[in-house]
Amino acid sequence: MKLGIDGQKLPEVKKRGPLGSLDHVRELGLEGIFFSTVLDMSPTLDAGMLREIRAKADELGLYLESGLGKINPYCSAEAPELRAIGDGDIIAGFTRMIEASAEIGCREMWVSPGNFKGEYRGRLAVDRFRTDVTWDEQLQAMGNVLQKLAPVARAHGVHMNIETHDEITSFEILRLIERVGEDCVGAVLDTANMLQRGEHPVMAAQRLAPYIRQTHIKDAWVGRAPGGLDFQPRACGQGVVDFAAILPILAKANPDLNLSLEINQSTDDKRRQPNPRQCIQIDDPVWRAGHPDLNTTELELYFAMLNEGEKRVASGEIPDWEGFESAQYGYPTYENQSYGFDAATRFIQDSARHIRAICEQKGIILA
């Protein structure tokens, strides 16, 4: 296993470009980079540029991963570059991306089932609860897209890996894999996103383990708040995710799996609230009805996990929402700090330190 980073959240990734970002990854002591889409490496799919990136990654001993992007047709207008690279034909665009990525040996490709709209609070922030189309209709449409792309993926030995994104459950990912075929569809385990769907991260990892081919290694603090629960991204080890339980599951299922840290994006790269909370309306009847796979046993374990997290906050082991008394963690005002380049870099270093410590403790070898 190797420990790297999600390229989209790497500080100054656009400023430095893909080649400069490879140097930055090495400077941070990490072993690879996971570009969300192959277009992040070359917006025009320039074969020469892609080969140059591949060659430099190999020279530096870094893994290189890639992706396709959003496969939910109801979100296509929010990612016009996917249609543009196909000259107006989005399936042609995805096909060209698969071919270009496979050409440089990136055959594990991230796909996402929707977008998160941080300007809205609660269930309407995710496409699962949009009101113009049902979630079942969206899942059916995503399956249709994957089936259209399956022949080209199989021809190039590519897996289209569905992320445990903000709006989808592990149960639904499993059904999509079964529908299209595990020979060309897998999963990207984001270790924290399933918290927003009321799923326990360890149980979700166990369900998806045989199909996990890429990762986003991320932590979050989830606790009681007005409207139900709030979710706040954290450096690994400062939230509720039990990496000591999850990492051995991943290592056993896929010893060659790359672990890609996903951090909160630097505010120097994108002007926004530094560490925003996301409301999980877990007590809302509409929210509950929208999660038919949730069962009593998992919910009980989910709330037990939150209770343990609250004890850690009460003891001062991890910061509270605002973090006003948590200067010892390097985040003296966690919710409202500037969170620029230096803080984002510290977030990476803290996360990497925690993951490496867990791996050493569990006998997991990181290259």
Instruction: Tell me the pLDDT tens digit for each residue of 144-192.
Output: 999 999 999 999 999 999 999 999 999 999 999 999 999 999 999 999 9
The per-residue pLDDT for 272 is: 73
The per-residue pLDDT for 290 is: 97
Confidence of residue 336 (pLDDT cuts 50, 70, 90): low
Tell me the pLDDT tens digit for each residue of 10-28: 999 999 999 999 999 999 9
Please state, in angstroms and as integers, the Cα–Cα distance from residue 254 to each residue in 64, 208, 215, 249, 258, following that order: 17, 12, 11, 9, 9
- The mean pLDDT value of the chain amounts to 94
| pLDDT for 291 beyond 50 | yes
- Max CA separation in the chain (angstroms): 57
The per-residue pLDDT for 270 is: 85
The percentage of residues in the chain with a pLDDT greater than 70, rounded to a whole number, is 96
Tell me the pLDDT tens digit for each residue of 53-102: 999 999 999 999 999 999 999 999 999 999 999 999 999 999 999 999 99
In a domain, 312, yes or no: yes
The per-residue pLDDT for 326 is: 43
What would the mean pLDDT of 306-335 be, rounded to a whole number?
73
Strand partners, 163: 188
What would the mean pLDDT of 314-332 be, rounded to a whole number?
66
Order of all β-strands in the sheet with 219-225: 219-225, 228-234, 278-280
Assess contact for 220 and 234: CB atoms under 8 A.
Answer: yes
H or E stretch covering 185: strand 185-190
In a domain, 367, yes or no: no
What phi and psi, each to the nearest 5 degrees, are found at residue 101?
-70, -45
Closest CA to 216 of 199, 233, 240: 233
Give the span between the Cα atoms of 22 and 209, in whole angstroms: 29
Confidence of residue 323 (pLDDT cuts 50, 70, 90): low
CATH label of the domain that carries residue 273: 3.20.20.150
Provide the total of helices (H) and of strands (E) in the chain, helices listed first. Answer: 11, 11
Tell me which DSSP letter residue 178 carries: H
In a domain, 189, yes or no: yes
| pLDDT for 221 beyond 60 | yes
DSSP string, 54-95: HHHHHHHT-EEEEEEEE--GGGGGG-HHHHHTTTT-HHHHHH
Note down the domain range covering 290: 2-362
Split into its structural domains, the chain has a count of: 1
State the residue for tokens 């690879």. 32
In a domain, 328, yes or no: yes
Confidence of residue 327 (pLDDT cuts 50, 70, 90): very low
What would the mean pLDDT of 346-352 be, rounded to a whole number?
95
Give the span between the Cα atoms of 362 and 367, in whole angstroms: 15
Lowest mean pLDDT among 253-257, 272-276, 288-292: 272-276
Give the span between the Cα atoms of 246 and 154, in whole angstroms: 30
Please state, in angstroms and as integers, the Cα–Cα distance from residue 127 to each residue in 112, 120, 168, 272, 313, following that order: 12, 11, 9, 21, 32
Please state, in angstroms and as integers, the Cα–Cα distance from residue 269 to each residue in 85, 336, 341, following that order: 25, 16, 8
What would the mean pLDDT of 187-204 be, rounded to a whole number?
98
Closest CA to 232 of 325, 337, 314: 337
| pLDDT for 333 beyond 70 | no
- Number of Cβ atoms within 10 Å of the Cβ of 141: 15
Strand partners, 161: 110, 186
| pLDDT for 114 beyond 60 | yes
| pLDDT for 136 beyond 60 | yes
The per-residue pLDDT for 131 is: 96
What would the mean pLDDT of 96-112 be, rounded to a whole number?
98
